[in-house]
Amino acid sequence: MAAATAYRDVWQRKPALRAVYGDIYQRIGAQMKPGRTLEIGGGSGNLKALRPQTVSTDIQFAPWLDAVCDAQRLPFAAGQFDNVVMVDVLHHIEFPLHALREFHRVLRPDGRLIFCEPAITPLGGLFYRLFHEEPVDMSADPLAEGTISAGRDPWLSNQAIPTLLTGKYRERMATLLPGLELAATERFSFLAYPLSGGFKEWSLLPSALAQPLLSAEWGARRLLGPLAAFRLLAVYRRAS
């Protein structure tokens, strides 16, 4: 809970950070279906504050969450949700394939799995490798299976996982889990995110410039995304 509370405090103090993540939540919301939404890795409760009907979960307790659970073992019956969403969570999961199977199970037919994660592009990947504490291992197998570890540090990560799943391992995932179809990917976010400082105490992004810059970046995503994006937005559809 200490980490979630610390992130919540930073969120409340940094308007530029709220603008950056508010833009991400807006992009996710545009892809969601009407209906019931499950958030994985609700952490500091930011999405739930914007969408109060969201069922927000995390592997660690916080009083604003609706449930504490591991994404690889969800405590929900099959076909309960129209959307499963997460931001900066997938690359922390020990065995993503276990979690993806759970997301498929709890989604209703034609439901959506939507996540926003680090994008390992030439520029974004260089930044993450040099200036971010979490590792980038492009040699990892994001579809490996194994025994879920008890007491594993939930902050362990590999920022390459989402890029690998939607790129190099896309066809293999489609074979292993044909019920989840990759419907869309967007690579976006160039300057606003690194300038905001993320959840660090500092920021180089004036709050008044945040929204105009974010809008311009989204408009440039097709041109600049493959080379310079810091963010990957992926939308999967659960087959009927």
Residue 240 is predicted with a pLDDT of 83
Beta strands in 73-140 (DSSP E): 81-87, 107-118
Instruction: Tell me the average pLDDT across 196-224.
Output: 95
Q: Residue 36 maps to which CATH number?
A: 3.40.50.150
Kindly give the pairing relationship between strand 231-238 and strand 180-188.
Answer: antiparallel
* Domain that includes residue 223, residue range: 2-238
Q: What is the distance between the alpha carbons of residues 53 and 41, in angstroms, rounded to a whole number? A: 16
Residue 191 is predicted with a pLDDT of 96
User: Coil, strand or helix: which one is 126?
Assistant: helix
Residue 187 is predicted with a pLDDT of 98
Instruction: Tell me the average pLDDT across 101-129.
Output: 98
Confidence of residue 5 (pLDDT cuts 50, 70, 90): confident
Residue 1 is predicted with a pLDDT of 63
pLDDT tens profile 164-207: 999 999 999 999 999 999 999 999 999 999 999 999 899 999 99
Residue 4 is predicted with a pLDDT of 79
176: Cα separation from own chain's centroid: 21
For the chain, the average pLDDT equals 95
- Give me the number of domains the chain comprises: 1
